[in-house]
Structure 1
């Protein structure tokens, strides 16, 4: 049984400079409705209404028309702008229209869950086959090269430590928790995060004296719990904001002799370790670099060692259909990100490493609950977000992101896995 590291009762984070202002002035695609001719709007309206009328939703347009089979309500306040954005920018336009306040939903995650459950059929099959012609492509500037990855990570994780502290629990853990039961109680979120972390450390065999490499530091909770077991931890991050606060937490816990946190890309890792842990990092790697990422795990792991990997996953056919498409989540939340499928993970391990997938456990329902708790807390503290300088457009962006992600897990479109990868010791 592990013991929690010591911590102060309260922990003030530091807000560093944001990489871009929070407001509309730096989001011109939200501030201005795109030019769209009447035929573009008419086609978009036809496609949208044809898709919606078959769904268990109620979509009420400002002119009075309502479509759908009944269910969660979506209110379209500005149909002209709504259809113009979707006609010009597809699902990116759908998200931008929400950010602009042109539509809303009393139960946003409920409405988005219905859409996520029917994601594969929302766009008519003929248009699906022509995706390469109409869908936006991922910008070359968001490739996760060593320099590109630093920029992409900074755009999300360096927004402000205080922003993340608004909705995360006191452990500052920004990944899926593991609960004992549902519905999850907010007061138990920190314990559920520790349960997840301990499960990963157990998978990796982390104990007194273990040399542990962590790829993706977060704000340091996993490194602290590993060090409390007696492990010697090297943790890598590309976020200056996260590193600064994680180092403070390590010092305050009296574990500086056991934890080293480097501002370094995973490709720059050196040395060998008894165990490697990486939590929801692969989603930021990009398909182009999955082979490099998994080879790094293999190269850094000593013979007989173990890798514990936590990864969000999506269906393989949807990953293949959308992997080159620029999405709303990439444009506004996770630039350069791509969620893999379980098939893609296991193929990369098989084709590019000497590792073996020894175990895989999925627990997507736990992520839906984790995101619900984060979203509710962020909504309750919207005034504090405003005081930090994050305006209404940003707050709608963040609310949509959390609800959109929750819907993915509630619908089963997304899942989250814990993998155990092992490396044979030829000497045994």
Structure 2
């Protein structure tokens, strides 16, 4: 199915769910009391400092500071809505932290053990499920994508570098072989963490970030074997940087997206670079590719599998398998989580789903390997893990986003939006800095190729 552009359906609104008022009553009181006890017990084991106002009571073993401005609201929101309530209590100002990412990194590193194991077994009973309208079906996917990527190209340009790459950069560091465990990829490398770098004026572009983004793209193109004459498919256009670089190598590119805003700017950037004759950008769901009958020598995708949904991973990789020509190669960049955490959280509704990426869910590398082995002829042959590089990328984005607050407001967004996005960027940074999340470039081939 090729989709038509429809600007009437793509309202450029902030798309924020309303912050609900907490209903009074026994349920709220009881759940708040349980949350208070669990939270204090967890904090007592963490290297953080939590101060409750106005009493000044402190918890934790010392470390990044969190202030509970309105403790009763905080515990009530956490008690009723868990981690979604934790994030929403930040949005309302019930709590704050001067170093938000620094504070969040500490519990993120202990995420699997913060809640006692007997209570973790009850997770499925208390965790809200992903709403049916957010499942990444063909009917829902464009709306899911539009919620985030069609906010405003001008917004993203405020905090991204000039490549407009909205994915992890790869800074200039060494790589080393990863420790090999059962089921490890033979060619499994880990990128050495980059050194944090702060420009005196965060509103300016950082040349080294653009260089690092270029390094990421060029490595993916190398892994996929893209040279002159290569027929390239890109799933998830972004703002066109990978397609431009592939065309610069002499490849012909078919790149697909579900974002109207990204498509229009990508076409402009591709034309300005002089490659309109080599690159075709199309508004299309990846599931429609098999029906076209086209085949490609290389398939690339950057941080798109996270939007597919776990029910459709087989469809996604099966589609790639069908359109990949004999001897072809696949290179994707994917955000991942540990396999056990993926299994524990699968199907749940999170703060990120509610406010940032409807329908999104992170795979594990093990799950990707299982799906491709079980349902396709693709085989995972290489992995470069670079989660520390995403932590640094996000730190820079967040710093620049906050420095551009007035410009964000001038685009028509409000203070709540700024707070939502600061929490999103800091929350994500904490995930990678703690090692709870990772991002990898994954290379696939065929056993016969």
* Fold equivalence (TM over 0.5): yes
Shift of 1:425: 5.2
Structure-2 residue corresponding to 1:27:
17
Give the Cα separation in 1 of the matches to 2:150 and 2:386.
Answer: 28
Count of matched residue positions in the alignment of Structure 1 and Structure 2: 409
Give the Cα separation in 2 of the matches to 1:211 and 1:231.
Answer: 6
Structure-2 residue corresponding to 1:49:
40
Structure-2 residue corresponding to 1:386:
409
Shift of 1:47: 1.1
Tell me, yes or no, if structure 1 residue 331 matches structure 2 residue 354.
yes
1:397-412 matched pairs, under 5 angstroms: 397-412=420-435
Structure-2 residue corresponding to 1:117:
109
Tell me, yes or no, if structure 1 residue 200 matches structure 2 residue 223.
no
CA contact (8 A) 2:136 2:359 kept: yes
Shift of 1:207: 0.6
Structure-1 residue corresponding to 2:136:
144
Give the Cα separation in 2 of the matches to 1:175 and 1:336.
Answer: 18
Tell me, yes or no, if structure 1 residue 163 matches structure 2 residue 193.
no
CA contact (8 A) 1:303 1:424 kept: no
The verdict on how the C-alpha distance between 1:253 and 1:187 changes in structure 2, with shifts beyond 3 A counting, is: closer
| Residue of structure 1 aligned with 2:442, choices 403, 409, 419 | 419
Structure-1 residue corresponding to 2:66:
74
1:227-376 matched pairs, under 5 angstroms: 227-269=247-289, 270=292, 271-376=294-399
CA contact (8 A) 1:34 1:84 kept: no
Per-residue Cα deviation, 1:366-418 (whole angstroms, up to 9, x for no partner): 00000001000001001111111111111111000000000000000011111
Shift of 1:37: 3.3
| Residue of structure 2 aligned with 1:396, choices 415, 419, 441 | 419
Give the Cα separation in 1 of the matches to 2:439 and 2:9.
Answer: 32
Unmatched 5+ residue regions in structure 1? 1-14
The verdict on how the C-alpha distance between 1:318 and 1:97 changes in structure 2, with shifts beyond 3 A counting, is: same
Structure-2 residue corresponding to 1:39:
30
CA contact (8 A) 1:363 1:416 kept: yes
The verdict on how the C-alpha distance between 1:381 and 1:227 changes in structure 2, with shifts beyond 3 A counting, is: same
Which deviates the most, 205-214 or 32-41? Answer: 32-41
Tell me, yes or no, if structure 1 residue 95 matches structure 2 residue 95.
no
Unmatched 5+ residue regions in structure 2? 1-6, 173-193, 199-205
Shift of 1:97: 0.7
Tell me, yes or no, if structure 1 residue 176 matches structure 2 residue 188.
no
Structure-2 residue corresponding to 1:219:
239
CA contact (8 A) 1:301 1:423 kept: no
Give the Cα separation in 2 of the matches to 1:145 and 1:253.
Answer: 34
Give the Cα separation in 2 of the matches to 1:409 and 1:18.
Answer: 32
CA contact (8 A) 2:73 2:89 kept: yes
CA contact (8 A) 1:34 1:88 kept: no
The verdict on how the C-alpha distance between 1:304 and 1:424 changes in structure 2, with shifts beyond 3 A counting, is: farther
TM-score, scaled to structure 2: 0.88
After TM superposition, what 4+ stretches of structure 1 lie above 6 angstroms from structure 2? Answer: 15-18
Question: Aligned Cα RMSD in Å?
Answer: 1.6
Which deviates the most, 30-39 or 111-120? Answer: 30-39
CA contact (8 A) 1:19 1:155 kept: no
Per-residue Cα deviation, 1:347-373 (whole angstroms, up to 9, x for no partner): 011011111111111111100000001
Which deviates the most, 75-84 or 119-128? Answer: 119-128
Give the Cα separation in 1 of the matches to 2:8 and 2:48.
Answer: 42
Any idea what SS the aligned residue of 1:74 has? strand
Give the Cα separation in 1 of the matches to 2:332 and 2:106.
Answer: 30
Shift of 1:328: 0.4
CA contact (8 A) 1:16 1:158 kept: no
The verdict on how the C-alpha distance between 1:95 and 1:278 changes in structure 2, with shifts beyond 3 A counting, is: same
Structure-2 residue corresponding to 1:107:
99
Give the Cα separation in 2 of the matches to 1:20 and 1:66.
Answer: 43
